[in-house]
Amino acid sequence: MLYALICKDKPNSLQLRLDTRPAHVDFLKGLGDRLKAAGPFLDESGAMTGSLVIIEAESRDAALAVSQQDPYARAGLFESVEIKAWNWVIKNPEAK
């Protein structure tokens, strides 16, 4: 099952995001094929304000565990993390 991790940064936390970003990117790369897509949300000026991460996991609890291991989460960057089951219908390269 696929899960969307919808992460909202705490206010005024851009520097924390920038400082933690290399570890976050390495963490995501370490997920291998379980990671389907990822990228930051941007405000109107182009500054990063959160993250969208799409992962494959056995359950919502497993997706939650992955989200809690993210260096961004460990650093306290996120104000909130919403986890939603997601069905990739359009332009899914793995669909038959």
pLDDT over 90 at 92, yes or no: no
pTM over 0.75: yes
Q: Which residues pair with 78 in a beta bridge?
A: 9
Q: What are the residue boundaries of the structural domains of the chain, listed by start? A: 2-86
CATH superfamily for 2-86 is: Dimeric alpha+beta barrel (3.30.70.1060)
Confidence at residue 9, expressed as pLDDT on a 0 to 100 scale = 98
Q: How far apart are the first and last CA of the chain?
A: 16
Q: What is the mean pLDDT of residues 34-48?
A: 96
Would you tell me how many other CB atoms lie within 10 Å of the CB of residue 66? 21
Q: Please report which confidence band the pLDDT of residue 5 belongs to, taking 50, 70 and 90 as the band edges.
A: very high
